[in-house]
A = this chain, B = another copy of it.
């Protein structure tokens, strides 16, 4: 599965992924059905499950790839010097993550949670995001009393919070972006010690 031995295997897997990408592009992540994927790919249902760890496994790959694309770009950006800049640099990613309720659910379900031993694709991107943001922070004018790594973890926690509230009916008076700005200002620029 991780190391296809036959060419046939790689070809089948590629067809399945291509098929899935087509369906997602056309109808969105939440509308993807395994039966549709295998039908478009021209294989039997069982083949799908021989290639991926279920529908969720495929989703991890697809969504994880998308998040990594965002992080690839984020990595090239300069260290943000203001909260506003930081928020602007995070927003594209969290906008993708909240583009569909289903996508956010999948991400949450796998964010800190490798199924078994090895860490899954989405959990990897969360680790990577902390690294990317920590690197930014090493060259940013925010609080220095704790490590950039810890700061980055906090940013992630607040991002998740902002995204979760975004889907809450009662909390739509502020935009996700505004809410995140408030959180991160409080987190990165504390005015006074206790």
A contacts, CB < 8 Å to B: 101, 105, 108-109, 111-114, 116-119, 123, 127, 141-146, 150, 153-154, 156-158, 160-161, 163-171, 182-183, 186-194
- Quick one: given A186-B146, A193-B191, A194-B143, are A157 and B161 in contact (CB under 8 Å)? yes
Query: Judging by beta carbons under 8 Å apart, are B191 and A145 in contact?
Result: yes
Closest to A127 in B: B170
Closest to A114 in B: B169
Query: Judging by beta carbons under 8 Å apart, are B160 and A160 in contact?
Result: yes
Query: Judging by beta carbons under 8 Å apart, are A171 and B112 in contact?
Result: yes
Residues of B within 8 A of A166 (CB): 112
Known: A105-B109, A112-B167, A157-B157. 13 other contacts (CB 8 A): A112-B171, A113-B167, A114-B170, A116-B169, A123-B168, A145-B190, A146-B186, A154-B158, A157-B158, A157-B160, A157-B183, A160-B160, A189-B194
Query: Judging by beta carbons under 8 Å apart, are A192 and B143 in contact?
Result: yes
Chain B: minimal CB distance from A173 (Å): 14
Residues of B within 8 A of A160 (CB): 157, 160-161
A108 to B161, CA, bound (A): 10
Name A's interface SS: helix
A187 to B188, CA, bound (A): 9
Chain B: minimal CB distance from A43 (Å): 30
Residues of B within 8 A of A101 (CB): 113
A139 to B76, CA, bound (A): 45
A72 to B105, CA, bound (A): 29
Query: Judging by beta carbons under 8 Å apart, are A192 and B157 in contact?
Result: no
Residues of B within 8 A of A190 (CB): 143, 145, 190, 193-194
